[in-house]
Chain A
Amino acid sequence: MSTLATHDRFGIFGGRYVPETLIPALEALDQALTQALADPAFRSEIDDLLGTYVGRPSPLSTAPRLSALAGAPVYLKREDLNHTGAHKINNTVGQAVLARRMGKRRIIAETGAGQHGVATATICARFGLQCVVYMGTEDMRRQELNVYRMRLMGATVTPVDSGTRTLKDATTEAIRDWVTNVNDSHYIIGSVVGPAPYPRMVREFQSVIGREARRQILERAGRLPHTVVACVGGGSNAIGIFSGFVDDRAVELIGVEAGGEGLDTDRHAASLTRGTPGVLHGSLSYLLQDAAGQVHPAHSISAGLDYPGVGPEHAYLKDSGRATYVAVSDAEALAAFELLSRSEGIIPALETAHAVAWVAAQAGRWQADQPVLLCVSGRGDKDVGQVSALGLGAGEAAGGVGRAGAAGAAPVGETSRR
């Protein structure tokens, strides 16, 4: 019988918990992926697009003032400099090339912050593929600019008004579309979530982050990083950068979840830190749920982290102890949004700001020769409207003096300059 191969589980996590209608499509996808990955032409087509269209390799930047604050040399892996402004395009390029090989002309995607939706609309425009993006109405409100960008590139953005009107419900609706149009459509999931082979496939396409970063930090720092840090919603930028170091047992891997209004409130998105194993959107992983197995609504100021589940490989990395997961609150993330903008001239996505906040708060944790690698998963232009509407982020701008912002991270002063 067609039991799943073990490569479709991460320990006990993952699997293929979907309606029967999708099983043949997932098996076909699995086969097409295996064949494609063995085909040098597939790899070179993707590499060519990543080089000439996305702008890879993305740079590794030093971050002198953040380094002073953290007490260790911090290196930033600049996924924010990719075309479309986030790591998401690494995955959509790979999946779109695969979909085209499979003869699928219609692409479905879900989006939270809109970055994955934009990255999907982008490659669909480039390839002339039809593109339908599902997006919660709450996220459409928070991320108006990205809605416009998707529509500008010819995508149909379909509002989702059910449930919490965020990423979870957009994902559910995208799966419903796929069940209905499975014969001519490919569903480009935006993170390392969903039924097998999606988590493995998305990791494959995001692993370019880790491969580049490993080579770059060895060149620049002359050694492996002591710690690799990335934010985790579904977890694709984290899996991408972790994949370059997971076999280097001495390298510490830290995933930063969205702590929302606090882990002791019911308003956060920290699935790994506070969730329990459960099945959502086709895989078994950690999940925010109540005792009856009903999915608990997530909350984060960052639309891209506002998801009650998490990729199954993260669940495995947590349980096996290989990675450690922590949480950072909305307020701390907002402070870090401003911190990185002022101290390094890099406006990070609110998602990324969670990882920045954690690093900034770790003074004394590292020695001066222990490099820290931080994945800047995306740029924050999309968040500027939302943050300014909160009345944050531009305080004391006239004086030009850095300040910490809302809460949490320590101020960046003259002493932090090198």
Chain B
Amino acid sequence: MSAGALASRFTALRQARRRALVCYVTAGFPDAAATVTLVQGLAAAGADVIELGIPFSDPLADGPVIQGSSQRALDNGMTYEGALALIGRARVDVPIILFTYLNPLLAAGPDALRRAVDAGAAGVLVTDLPVGADPPREEWLGSSGLAFVRLVAPTTPPARMAEIARHGSGFVYLISRLGVTGERADLPPELPLTVQRLRSATDLPVCVGFGIARRDQATAVGRLADGIVVGSALVAAAGRSIDGAIDLARELRRGLDAAGGELPGAGAPTRAAGEASRATPPA
């Protein structure tokens, strides 16, 4: 699986007028075997994309839940290589993207991304590598054969939104609010406007994350965007029981399905596929 898998998934989703459920799991939390069970269960519960978190000792964009899961995973001996191995063990028909900080990825060496492609990863997202921060390394990621998912923040000005989308593929991850990852009671009131601004900047699918934990939130965001990303709520649930986390995913799926139908302002689905083919690995 590679960049193409993510693009075809979103093309199919748009044709089916189905919103994407993107589920984050920390590789190695609560342990490696449970991660495999969880990924399989999430796929069966209706996840469309899985974000597999590479644990890092200093996750500065994450709130307490993902911090705790990362530390636990590291204590369990999880590594970049170990996380790649989980993809093969899970064998799910859902694109898996690596969610990582830059340092563990750099430490994995110059062929880290090729090994990820070989392991079956479809994409990569690097939390602390914003557009323009390091062009050579961004080029390395953009030409790896993996979809390179970029993030847009509530603080991102419109011109920069377009630039971010131009340098990314697969989908755009819209951070719904200021701050670190974690569950919140309410959706930010300015979210519809932010999604609208991002829509006018790109045809790539837009998935919204940070703070989404409940079925009603899933429905509300599903009316605005191509999908939702759920992280901390799932990780917290998985810390209690794997079945509980899978139940939550099912619940969120129902919430998203209640929001189905035509998406306001969404571009043609062909763009996503086009972006992905540009990222085809060199022979």
**A→B interface (CB under 8 Å):** 1-4, 15-25, 162-163, 168, 172, 175-176, 179-183, 278-282, 287, 289, 291-295
Contact = CB atoms under 8 A, between A and B. Distances in A.
A182 B178 contact: yes
B215 to A, nearest CB: 26
Given A175-B60, A176-B60, A278-B106, A20 B156 contact: yes
A22 B57 CA distance: 21
A163 B59 CA distance: 11
Interface in B95-132: 101-108, 127-132
Interface residues of B, number: 43
Contacts of A182: 155, 178
B104 A292 contact: yes
A139 B238 CA distance: 33
Sort A-B residue pairs by CB-CB distance and give the 6 closest, nearest first: A293-B107, A180-B179, A21-B153, A293-B104, A294-B57, A20-B153
Contacts of A183: 155, 178
Given A176-B60, A280-B103, A282-B128, A1 B133 contact: no
Contacts of A293: 56, 80, 103-108
B158 to A, nearest CB: 11
A20 B135 contact: no
A221 B105 CA distance: 51
A350 to B, nearest CB: 25
B180 interface: yes
Interface in B147-170: 150-157, 160, 163-164, 167
Given A163-B58, A180-B179, A181-B178, A16 B133 contact: yes
Contacts of A295: 57-58, 103
Contacts of A294: 56-57, 74, 104
B127 to A, nearest CB: 6
A15 B136 CA distance: 12
B107 A289 contact: yes
Contact of B106 (A2, A16, A181, A279): A279
A19 B60 contact: yes
Given A4-B133, A182-B155, A182-B178, A19 B61 contact: yes
A180 B180 contact: yes
B250 to A, nearest CB: 30
A128 to B, nearest CB: 25
Interface in B227-272: none
B133 A179 contact: no
A147 B132 CA distance: 39
Contacts of B63: 176
B225 interface: no
Contacts of B129: 17
Nearest to A287: B103
Given A17-B102, A18-B128, A280-B58, A292 B179 contact: no
13 contacts: A4-B133, A19-B127, A21-B154, A23-B130, A24-B157, A25-B155, A172-B60, A176-B179, A179-B61, A280-B58, A280-B103, A289-B103, A293-B108
Nearest to B59: A172
Contacts of A1: 131-132, 163, 167
Nearest to A19: B61
Contacts of A179: 60-61, 178-180
B67 interface: yes
Given A19-B61, A21-B155, A287-B103, 9 more contacts: A1-B132, A4-B132, A18-B133, A19-B127, A20-B130, A23-B160, A25-B155, A172-B60, A179-B61
A351 to B, nearest CB: 23
A163 B57 contact: yes
B134 interface: yes
Most buried by B among A3, A20, A182: A20
Contact of A278 (B79, B107, B160, B167): B107
Contacts of A175: 60
B175 interface: yes
Contacts of B104: 292-294
B267 to A, nearest CB: 22
Nearest to B157: A24
Contacts of B79: 292
B178 A20 contact: no
Contacts of B160: 2, 23-24
A17 B134 contact: yes
Contacts of A25: 155
Contacts of B127: 19
A16 B130 CA distance: 8
A180 B60 contact: no
Contacts of B163: 1-2
Interface in B44-84: 56-58, 60-61, 63, 67, 74, 79-80
Contacts of B152: 20
A282 B131 CA distance: 14
Nearest to A16: B133
Nearest to B133: A16
Nearest to B78: A292
A2 B156 CA distance: 13
B133 A15 contact: yes
Most buried by B among A21, A23, A280: A21
Contacts of A17: 102, 128-130, 133-134
A24 B134 CA distance: 16
B67 to A, nearest CB: 7
Contacts of B106: 278-279, 293
A20 B151 contact: yes
B175 A21 contact: yes
B74 A23 contact: no
A19 B131 contact: no
A172 B57 CA distance: 11
